């Protein structure tokens, strides 16, 4: 069953992607600084269109996509995207990831939006565990994990080959039971 959307927070709306989101996503996904710690490089218009088409199918963990992706809207523009995807056949472990425009850094919008998304996902799907992993240099995402109450569980040295270099990986975890403490 799809995740009920939209999800409204005090300042953001988490909603499905639409074809009208291309320019907003291109604004931040095309920036080398934004793509620095992502698996893919900066996206061009065709790459953003393909991303939106893929995200439009990611509406539920119990669908063929086994993923949920949402656009984060603030003051009428998409300023971020958040997604989760199942990690194994138990259907109880998922990974979360996000990308936000640098224009909204420091405003607490990522924390607000991702926390609401996590709450909705845990309320709607029978997940036991949510994980986040990132490049070891991605201090902003690590700080976001900590603000979300996630526990830093591992720091793996030079364990991933990305964009022509060995990179470190930080792993965070959050149990469904952590949200009720």
Residues 6+ apart with CB under 8 A from 59: 2, 3, 16, 65, 68
Is the pLDDT at 181 greater than 70? The verdict is no
Confidence at 179, pLDDT banded by 50, 70, 90: confident
- Give 124-137 pLDDT, tens digit per residue: 999 999 999 999 99
Q: Which CATH superfamily is domain 7-132 in?
A: Gcn5-related N-acetyltransferase (GNAT) (3.40.630.30)
Task: Give which of 80, 97, 81, 72 is closest to 13, Cα–Cα.
Answer: 72
């Amino acid at each position: 069953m799809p995740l009920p959307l939209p999800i409204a927070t005090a300042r953001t709306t988490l909603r499905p992607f639409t074809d009208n989101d291309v320019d907003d996503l291109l604004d931040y996904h095309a920036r080398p600084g934004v793509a620095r710690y992502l698996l893919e490089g900066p996206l061009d218009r065709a790459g953003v269109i393909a991303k939106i088409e893929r995200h439009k199918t990611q509406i539920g963990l119990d669908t063929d996509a086994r993923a949920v992706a949402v656009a984060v809207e603030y003051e009428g523009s998409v300023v971020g995207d958040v997604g989760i995807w199942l990690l194994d056949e138990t259907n109880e472990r998922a990974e979360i990831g996000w990308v936000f425009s640098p224009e909204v850094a420091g405003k607490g919008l990522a924390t607000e939006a991702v926390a609401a998304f996590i709450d909705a996902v845990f309320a709607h799907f029978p997940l036991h565990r949510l994980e986040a992993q990132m490049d070891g240099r991605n201090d902003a995402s690590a700080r976001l994990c900590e603000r979300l109450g996630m526990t830093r569980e591992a720091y793996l040295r030079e364990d991933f080959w990305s964009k022509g270099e060995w990179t470190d990986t930080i792993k965070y975890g959050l149990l469904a039971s952590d949200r009720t403490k």
